[in-house]
Amino acid sequence: MSLHTPHIDWFALATILALLAASGVSLLGAVLVPAQRRRTFSAIVSKLGFVGGLVASIWLYVDSSGHSESVVSGGFLRDRWTALAQIILCGVGLATTLLSWEHLGRNDDHIAEFFALLLASAAGMAFFVGAGNLMTLFLSLEWFSIALYVMCAIDYEQEGSLEAGLKYLVVGSFGSAALLFGSALVYGATGTVSFHGIAAAIGAHGLTGDSLLAVGIALIVAGLGFKMSAAPFHMWTPDVYEGAPTPVTAWMSAATKVAALVLAFRLMRTAFPQDEHLWSVAFAVIAVASLVIGNLAALVQTNVKRLLAYSSISHAGFMLIGLSAGSALGGRALMYYLIPYSAMAFGSFAVVAARERELGEPVTLENLAGFGWERPFLGVAMWLFMFGFAGLPVGGGFVGKFYVFAAAYDHGWAWLVVVGVLATLVSLYYYLGVVRAMYMRAPALALAGGSPPRDRFLHIAVGMALVVSVGSMFAVSPLIDLARNAASSLPF
């Protein structure tokens, strides 16, 4: 009996393989490398893994043709859309490695496992963004989710970490279940799981508006909504972001969002182009809900990690505006927006991590007082991130907002532009609140505890984020070209 294996283009999976290999090596290090060298060893392995992934995905981007090629029997799609998302993911992963290097300082026990999980979740996301059918979509979703659940809880001696992991597990499983159920319904309606097959089946059988299909799409949208932490599927976000170790939060806020949004756009464009009238409205509604809830809730936060969590919900809303437009312009806007967004999200959490280390307690707006003057580089970085989030022209966030607004208006949704404008206005209050806390308040009494700054790598990571965030405003043209080429591999 011979087993027929499909032809596999291994090069298309190079990014994922590099990350997985590094993950395995790091895991071996947990056993084979002596404890005092384990941190350095696994961090270097992780760094090499992400650099390898970055090189592979850049190569893939350059080497791919203008349209999607399916590899592994249609389970994975190799194109520039996948490659660009992988580039962003590997970049964030590299920065997260630098941030985590000196983190979890009191507890060296799990450091190798931590990096192994980081690499594994990155590999899962790198597969997820290129998923070509509903099966691989679900599998890779679970793949990176399970890694993230453990990462949230890894610092179990820290208050809230275990709770965060559990909460994420329960709510995340609910989201996955919704997605799985939706996939089953779509399969039931169309008889296929492949994205291209679904679109063909809908076209061939005139299934547009079919109720089974519509419910299936709705459940898939909800399941993805959990992952991109868009309202009303955001309930877990503030608690998990607050409780998880800050490097994990930084990784999740940037990378999970990239993966979920990129995949959502591909899935909707590739599998359900005929039902655009359904999902574009659904995403527009979710975008509005995220903008309203994220921004209003952020106004009253005093814990900076919670504040940034709500800010990430509101930014999911902005990016969903691009997604809901569903056009090539919308895809471009989304891809572009993700670049400065992930830099700013990662960078702001990294700055919070720095403050956390010197205080030894959760960072609030109160104990942020004077930070800007004490740590000039991190202070300036933080205000650039905050102003960038608010859409002021100090970073790519400004251009990103302009692009999503243009996409929404181009789609004929001027009202969505108005909502976005109002949301930006509200968001100013709390972003400026952070700047105010850092620079304009007299520092409170000297706080005891914490360790003296030991964060060379953290500075490098924040510097990287700063360069990307500010640089993306000046280098708009090349980045937009990258995003355009990526979006043009999707069917429009």
Partner 1 sequence: MSTTFLTSILIWLPIAGAIVVWLLPLSRYATGSIAVLASLIEVGFWIEQASRFNFHSSSLQMSEQANWFGTTGPAHHTRPELGISYHVGVYGFSVWLVGLTAVAMAACIGYGFWVGRDRPRAYFALMLLLTGATVGVFESQDLILFYAFFEAMLIPLYILIGVWGGAKRMEATVKFVIYTMAGSLIMLAAIVVYGLHAGTFDLVHGPTSASRWLFLGFMLAFAIKAPLFPFHGWLPDSYREAPPEVTAVLSGVIAKAGLYGMLRIAIPLFTDPTGSQVLPAQFYRTAILALAAAALVYGSFLAFRAPDFRGVVAYSSLAQSGLITLGLFSGTTLGLNGAVLQMVAHGLVSVSLFLLAGVVERRTTTGDFALLGGMARGRPVLATLLMALGVISLAVPGSANFAGEFLILAGAFKLHWWWAVIGAGAIVLAAMYMLRLISAVLHEARGSTVADEAMDVRPGELALLAPLVAGLLLLSAWPAAVSHHSFVGRWPNQPNPNVIRTPLP
* Chain contacts with partner 1 (rule: CB under 8 A): 327-329, 373, 380, 383, 387, 391-394, 398-399, 401-402, 405-406, 409-410, 414, 417-418, 421, 424-425, 428-429, 432, 435-436, 439-440, 476-477, 480-481, 484, 488
Q: Give the nearer residue to partner 1 in terms of CB position, either 216 or 340.
A: 340
Cα 377 → chain centroid: 25
Q: Which amino acid is at 468?
A: V
Q: Which residue stretches of 244-327 are H helix?
A: 246-251, 257-271, 276-299, 304-325
Residue 439: CB minimum distance to partner 1, A: 6
For 183, residues 6+ apart whose C-beta sits below 8 A from its C-beta are 134, 135, 137, 138, 193, 216, 220
Report the alpha-carbon distance of residue 428 to residue 436 in Å, rounded. 12
Q: Give the nearer residue to partner 1 in terms of CB position, either 48 or 417.
A: 417
| Closest among 231, 335, 218, 238 to 288, alpha carbons compared | 231
Q: Give the nearer residue to partner 1 in terms of CB position, either 253 or 327.
A: 327
Q: Give the nearer residue to partner 1 in terms of CB position, either 115 or 337.
A: 337
Tokens of 476: 């708009």
Report the alpha-carbon distance of residue 56 to residue 114 in Å, rounded. 23
**Please, are residues 38 and 115 in contact by the beta-carbon 8 Å criterion?**
no
What SS3 class is residue 68? coil
Q: Give the nearer residue to partner 1 in terms of CB position, either 65 or 451.
A: 65
Cα 221 → chain centroid: 17
Residue 390: CB minimum distance to partner 1, A: 8
Q: Give the nearer residue to partner 1 in terms of CB position, either 187 or 439.
A: 439
What SS3 class is residue 235? coil
Residue 87: CB minimum distance to partner 1, A: 19
Residue 422: CB minimum distance to partner 1, A: 8
**Please, are residues 464 and 374 in contact by the beta-carbon 8 Å criterion?**
no
Residue 385: CB minimum distance to partner 1, A: 13
Residue 398: CB minimum distance to partner 1, A: 7
Q: Give the nearer residue to partner 1 in terms of CB position, either 198 or 307.
A: 307
Tokens of 258: 């990239």
Residue 488: CB minimum distance to partner 1, A: 6
